[in-house]
Structure 1
Amino acid sequence: MQRKEFALGDIVEMKKVHPCGTNAWKVIRMGMDIRIKCTGCGHSVLLPRSRFEKRLKKVHPNKSES
């Protein structure tokens, strides 16, 4: 399985929907851990990189940084 590329500020889609009903998250911190923020309710979650990559479904690149 190919590793998905993502960057700071990208909108990512996770496998499971957030309880608020949104499936889109913004990457706000990268490193050993990844912090993502729900675009619906603003809740942020810190996940280890391995768990984040396992749960990642799709990446929507940030157009402004290209």
Structure 2
Amino acid sequence: MAEPITYELQDVVEMKKPHACGTNSWRITRIGADIKLTCTNCGRGIMMPRFDFNKRLKKVLSSQKDN
């Protein structure tokens, strides 16, 4: 079984589908029952349930613990 992807606050993640502005990288700005994401290109913010976020997450591009 594959190991789940771990993510933290302020990580930049890549989603499976791109945003309407053309990019698919997002910064995590809130973690709870819902995940709040901010587009790194246009700054638009969205919220989605954690379950949906985990299904749509492709990979973590940059992590705060790396900095």
Q: TM-score, normalised by structure 2?
A: 0.89
Q: CA RMSD in A?
A: 0.9
In the alignment, which residue of structure 1 is the partner of 2:52? 51
Equivalent pairs: percent with the same residue? Answer: 47
Is 2:23 the counterpart of 1:22? yes
Q: Deviations over 1:10-51 (max 9, x none)?
A: 000000011101111000000111000000000011000000
Q: TM-score, normalised by structure 1?
A: 0.90
Amino acid at match of 2:26: W
Q: Deviation at 1:53? A: 0.3
Question: Which runs of at least 4 in structure 1 moved beyond 4 Å after TM superposition?
Answer: none
Q: Deviation at 1:3? A: 1.4
